[in-house]
């Protein structure tokens, strides 16, 4: 896998979201198309991953979880990165839209992250012989996940929408910053995770399937974020309409 | 505001907090007794085998400090949460960044004094040898306390106004503190026991990096956190 491919994933999702937000005519159909294509691609992935791709050299059929596990964790990272981008954007210029997008990406990111960690744990049992291990990527993903679960809980416990937006933006930045430090600190303990599952260390057929899986879940990621964003916007509207606006508080939409 | 004003404001906030603390002594007393009982509970939970206790003493010590820090951090903005004192403080006018620096210094000092109180207790309960490398031990404790205080101050400023604040603070703080805990426990371990592979400096460097990162992020973010109050 070339070094820029995570950036490419990130750029694709951001571009889709920007199109969705900026061009109103795409809002009605783009997420539906994305979800539909995703479902078709998922069906194909089941075939490609289970039957078409050759079994892994050392782990045989157990290794096939790779095609779902790795894309899940990537989607989680992409979602959290968009989240921290929204948090910084919100602190620079207040906007209900970035706040809603931050909420959406955090929740979808937690969903994919939890799935990824869970599958990683299931995979670890037959290959490493343990459910859990001191591995930098495992621990940093889990810590990241925990800090975003805290972030979501914090959001639901703060009632004032404006405070919630500002504070959760701060919490998101503080949580995200810890990611590289967690990675280094755990790496210094020890590691038995196999060398990073880059697509270059894989057979070409397996590489194709992994990319297929990644693109499949990218469609889902986009559709989920968009739907969750719309829910967040609707909730904001009801929350802001219900009581009269306190005087002197202005928030740009 | 000029840089001198920034530090002077921080000093005044620190002095104010310590004056309140000195007159009531509520926070320090509560945290000291809480962490003492935590350390005692660890030794009960692990049984009487002194070798096991000695080996894991740095971990128990830091968990004691960490749990106590939730109490003391939660209290650190309680004075400001009442009667809209935070607005008063901001209107005084005190630069919000001064409040951050002052509060971090106050919290770190409180945790460091707590750690100093706990050290003789670890000798008594876990039979550790403090005289091997006291300078490095003090440095590890100080850096670790700053590491808890820097993100903790930002989180406690937020959670002191949220519902269920006692639940929120550890939920937000603990995941972020994972690397700090790893580094602090390792540094303390190598300051207390043999450090054959000279690992101590690298853990101290990691702690320093953690502190600097969170001090600067907190410094940038904190004004936005308190501005709406």
Residues A186-216 have pLDDT tens digits of 776 654 444 455 545 667 777 788 888 888 9
Residues in A closer than 8 angstroms to B151, CB to CB, are 174
pLDDT at A3: 62
Q: Hey, is the C-beta of B45 within 8 angstroms of any chain A C-beta?
A: no
Q: Hey, is the C-beta of A185 within 8 angstroms of any chain B C-beta?
A: yes
Pick from A146, A162, A186: CB nearest B182: A186
B175, A175: Cβ pair inside 8 Å? Answer: yes
Name the 3-class secondary structure at A15: helix
Q: Hey, is the C-beta of A154 within 8 angstroms of any chain B C-beta?
A: yes
pLDDT at A194: 47
Nearest residue on chain B to A134, alpha-carbon basis: B182
Residues in A closer than 8 angstroms to B209, CB to CB, are 181
Least confident of A198-212, A220-234, B211-225: A198-212
Distance from CA of A248 to the nearest CA of B (A): 11
**Number of A:B CB contacts under 8 A?**
96
- Probe site for chain A from B86, B221, B226 (most A CB atoms < 10 A): B221
Q: Hey, is the C-beta of A4 within 8 angstroms of any chain B C-beta?
A: no
**pLDDT tens string B148-167:** 999 999 999 888 877 777 78
Nearest residue on chain A to B170, alpha-carbon basis: A150
Q: Hey, is the C-beta of A158 within 8 angstroms of any chain B C-beta?
A: yes
Rounded to an integer, what distance in angstroms lies between the CA atom of residue A161 and that of residue B135?
Answer: 48
- Residue B45 burial (10 A CB sphere; 0-12, 13-18, 19+): exposed
Q: Is the dihedral of CA B189, A188, B39, B45 positive or negative?
A: negative
Whether complex ipTM tops 0.85: no
B127: left (phi over 0), alpha (psi -120 to 50) or beta: left
B172, A150: Cβ pair inside 8 Å? Answer: yes
Q: Hey, is the C-beta of B197 within 8 angstroms of any chain A C-beta?
A: no
Rounded to an integer, what distance in angstroms lies between the CA atom of residue A61 and that of residue A240?
Answer: 53
Pick from A159, A173, A189: CB nearest B163: A159
DSSP 8-state code for residue A159: -
Q: Is the dihedral of CA B32, B38, B40, B42 positive or negative?
A: negative
Going by C-beta distance under 8 Å and a sequence separation of 6 or more, which residues neighbour residue B141?
Answer: B112, B115, B116, B188
Which is more confidently placed, B115 or A23? Answer: B115
Rounded to an integer, what distance in angstroms lies between the CA atom of residue B66 and that of residue B61?
Answer: 9
pLDDT at B1: 46
* CB of B113 closer than 8 Å to CB of B150: no
Rounded to an integer, what distance in angstroms lies between the CA atom of residue B154 and that of residue B163?
Answer: 16
Q: Hey, is the C-beta of B175 within 8 angstroms of any chain A C-beta?
A: yes
DSSP string, B2-63: -HHHHHHHHHHHHHHHHHHHHHH-HHHHHHHHHHHHHHHHHHHHT-S-HHHHHHHHHHHHHH
- For residues A217, A219, A220 and A221, what is the CA-based torsion angle, rounded to 10 degrees? 80
pLDDT of residue B141 exceeding 90, the answer is: yes
Paired residues of A56 in beta bridges = A60
pLDDT of residue B91 exceeding 90, the answer is: no
pLDDT of residue B19 exceeding 80, the answer is: yes
Residues in B closer than 8 angstroms to A92, CB to CB, are none
Nearest residue on chain B to A170, alpha-carbon basis: B221
Q: Hey, is the C-beta of A106 within 8 angstroms of any chain B C-beta?
A: no
Paired residues of A60 in beta bridges = A56
Which is more confidently placed, A244 or B42? Answer: B42
């Amino acid at each position: 896998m070339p070094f820029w491919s995570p950036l490419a994933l990130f750029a694709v999702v951001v571009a889709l979201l920007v199109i969705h937000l900026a061009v109103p005519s795409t809002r009605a159909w783009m997420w539906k198309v994305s979800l539909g294509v995703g479902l078709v691609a998922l069906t194909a992935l089941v075939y490609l991953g289970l039957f078409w791709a050759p079994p892994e050299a050392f782990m045989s059929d157990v290794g096939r979880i790779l095609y779902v596990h790795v894309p899940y964790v990537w989607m989680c990272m992409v979602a959290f990165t968009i989240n921290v981008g929204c948090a910084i954007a919100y602190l620079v210029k207040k906007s209900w839209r970035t706040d809603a997008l931050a909420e959406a990406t955090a929740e979808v990111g937690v969903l994919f992250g939890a799935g990824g960690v869970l599958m990683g744990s299931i995979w670890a049992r037959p290959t490493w012989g343990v459910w859990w291990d001191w591995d930098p990527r495992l621990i940093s993903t889990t810590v990241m996940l925990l800090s975003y679960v805290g972030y979501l809980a914090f959001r639901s416990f703060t009632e004032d929408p404006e405070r919630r937006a500002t504070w959760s933006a701060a919490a998101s930045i503080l949580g995200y910053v810890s990611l590289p430090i967690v990675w280094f600190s755990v790496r210094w303990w020890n590691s038995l995770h196999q060398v990073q599952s880059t697509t270059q260390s894989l057979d070409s057929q397996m590489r194709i399937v992994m990319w297929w899986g990644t693109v499949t879940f990218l469609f889902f990621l986009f559709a989920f974020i968009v739907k969750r964003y719309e829910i967040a916007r609707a909730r904001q509207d009801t929350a802001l309409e219900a009581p009269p606006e306190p005087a002197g508080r202005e928030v740009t939409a | 505001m000029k840089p001198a004003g920034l530090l002077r404001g921080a000093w005044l906030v620190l002095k104010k907090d310590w004056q309140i603390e000195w007159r009531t002594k509520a926070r320090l007393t509560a945290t000291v007794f809480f962490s003492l009982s935590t350390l005692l509970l660890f030794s009960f939970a692990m049984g009487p085998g002194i070798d096991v206790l000695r080996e894991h003493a740095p971990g128990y010590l830091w968990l004691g400090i960490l749990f106590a820090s939730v109490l003391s951090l939660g209290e650190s903005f309680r004075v400001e949460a009442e009667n809209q004192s935070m607005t008063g403080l901001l209107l005084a006018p005190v630069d919000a960044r001064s409040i951050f620096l002052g509060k971090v210094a106050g919290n770190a000092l409180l945790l460091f004094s707590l750690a100093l109180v706990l050290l003789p207790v670890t000798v008594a309960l876990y039979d550790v040898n403090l005289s091997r490398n006291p300078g490095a031990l003090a440095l590890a404790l100080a850096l670790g306390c700053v590491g808890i205080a820097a993100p903790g101050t930002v989180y406690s400023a937020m959670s002191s106004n949220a519902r269920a604040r006692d639940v929120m603070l550890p939920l937000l703080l603990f995941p972020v503190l994972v690397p700090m805990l790893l580094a602090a426990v390792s540094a303390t371990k190598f300051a207390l026991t043999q450090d054959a592979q000279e690992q101590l400096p690298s853990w101290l460097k990691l702690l320093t990096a953690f502190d600097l990162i969170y001090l600067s992020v907190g410094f940038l973010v904190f004004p936005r956190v308190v501005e709406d109050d």
